[in-house]
Amino acid sequence: MYKLKDLIQLTPREVIKRSKSVSVTITRAIEDLDKSGKQFKKIQLKAKDPKGSGKTKVMTIKLYGYNKNILDDEVWCHCSCEYFTFNLEVALTAQDSSTVINSNGNMPVEKNPTMKGHFCKHFLAAVNQLRGVKFTGKKNYKTTPVPTEEELLEELLKYKK
């Protein structure tokens, strides 16, 4: 998995330039556990670039590691933009830092032959906002990080009623 600081450092200059006109809104920020019981922070965002297509892009970023500095956290990310789909989706998935959702899963032989992971302009524009995010969490999970089988069963039964 890539660390947040790696993805920032690997982002090409022209993408950094283009990120200046992007405006970003955080729509949701939660702390949660993945299937294996690993804690992560998940942030959902929307981005708009009046100088680009003007269409709203939807982004999700998950931060793993709970480091003092989020720059050291490991990242899973996804953006609905074309740049991400064709340059980054497969390259990041190869390092477990994304998932193939919008592309056909083929290697980006022309767009990103070295398969280097980095950010699209939308994520780069979002980076500064990530530091100040306040998360809402599933507090009951926090005290018992991995729920027991009985607890899981109890949860499931709740929804059956």
Q: Which residues bind Zn ion (CB under 5 A)?
A: 79, 81, 84, 120, 122
When the beta carbons of 13 and 35 are compared against Zn ion, the nearer one is: 13
- How far is 148 from 68, CA to CA, in rounded Å? 29
- DSSP letters, 92-127, are HHTTTS---SSS-S---TTT-TT------HHHHHHH
Q: How far is the CB of 101 from Zn ion (least distance, A)?
A: 13
When the beta carbons of 63 and 120 are compared against Zn ion, the nearer one is: 120
Q: How far is the CB of 106 from Zn ion (least distance, A)?
A: 19
When the beta carbons of 13 and 139 are compared against Zn ion, the nearer one is: 13
DSSP 105: S
Q: How far is the CB of 118 from Zn ion (least distance, A)?
A: 11
- Residue 38 sits at the vertex; the CA angle it makes with 33 and 117, to the nearest 5 degrees, is 105
**Could you tell me if 92 and 117 are in contact, meaning their C-beta atoms sit under 8 angstroms apart?**
yes
When the beta carbons of 101 and 153 are compared against Zn ion, the nearer one is: 101
Q: How far is the CB of 45 from Zn ion (least distance, A)?
A: 10
Q: How far is the CB of 79 from Zn ion (least distance, A)?
A: 3
When the beta carbons of 55 and 142 are compared against Zn ion, the nearer one is: 55
CA 127 to chain centroid: 11
Structure tokens at 3: 């660390």
